[in-house]
Structure 1
């Protein structure tokens, strides 16, 4: 990983450690969204309440798993009835580490009580995850593009 990639990852890591996993929800298909820290309510275009967003968030589009210290509890290819109980285990646990592993960066979030959320892409292309930092007026997004960590900065959609 480049020095720039290490620096960017460390910035997100420092911001996320110590935050609780406040909300987790399933998106389309097997996508999951984890929201950390203080939650902000969202309203859909239809006027209905949407899922809240955290100060920081993680999206894994597909190929993910939830682990404890001894086994895989469930993953994107598991029976869907296993997902909700695993999501319940994650809620309110505190982030103790954020790291990337592998030649093509896959993300790992370590939580209290020995729980982990990991991405692991199994199709062609880049790993399909992104971390969002919504704490300022600019939305900062960390993801993988062409096999390397990429930081994008843009206006926050919440302001």
Structure 2
């Protein structure tokens, strides 16, 4: 069995945060490394994708060294200015924590992004490695970190 977290730790190490955006509901997307433009199905320009990406569907927070600066339950007016603070920060580490693996992305500048599911089921995060010909997608399924087929 491949250690997927180690794969993503190595792939993302020192990459800059290139784009952070909120998706449907409270979904959070963090794009790392060189950005590639995307086009939506309707032909409009979509959000740029990084070489490596993190998506947390819900229940996430952004921390600095001393507090939570915002999260999925914060007033959305706090999101954009805090997303902007992350752009340009570099990845120090990616790791899981907890009995059911939650994800934490540690950045330069003392910032951390963490998932923390509060509903039934699995933690709702996904990592994307878009560097090769086929995107590698990994998430937590039935309490284990595994590649999505």
TM-score range, shorter chain: over 0.9
Which residue of 2 is the match for residue 92 of structure 1?
A: 88
Structure 1 segments unaligned to the other structure (5+ residues): 154-159
Cross-structure match for 1:118: 114
Q: What residue is the counterpart of 2:69 in the other structure?
A: 73
Which one of 124, 139, 146 corresponds to residue 143 of structure 1? 139
Question: Secondary structure of the equivalent of 1:50?
Answer: coil
> 2:17 & 2:102 partners in 1: Cα distance?
19
Gaps of 5+ in 2: none
Q: CA deviation at 1:27?
A: 0.4
- TM-score after normalising by structure 1: 0.91
Where 1:22 maps in the other structure, the secondary structure is strand
In 2, Cα distance between the equivalents of 1:10 and 1:46? 37
CA distance in structure 1 between the aligned counterparts of 2:103 and 2:115, rounded to whole angstroms? 6
Alpha-carbon distance in structure 2 between the residues aligned to 1:38 and 1:64: 24
1:18 to 14, 20, 37: 14
Query: Secondary structure of the residue that 1:69 maps to in structure 2?
Result: coil
| TM-align CA RMSD | 1.0
TM superposition score normalised by structure 2: 0.97
Mapped to 1, the partners of 2:52 and 2:17 lie a distance apart of 9
Query: Is the strand fraction higher in 1 or 2?
Result: 1
CA offset at residue 142 of structure 1? 1.1
Give the total of aligned pairs: 149
Q: Find runs of 4+ consecutive structure 1 residues off by over 2 angstroms.
A: none
The 1-side partners of 2:43 and 2:75 are apart by 32
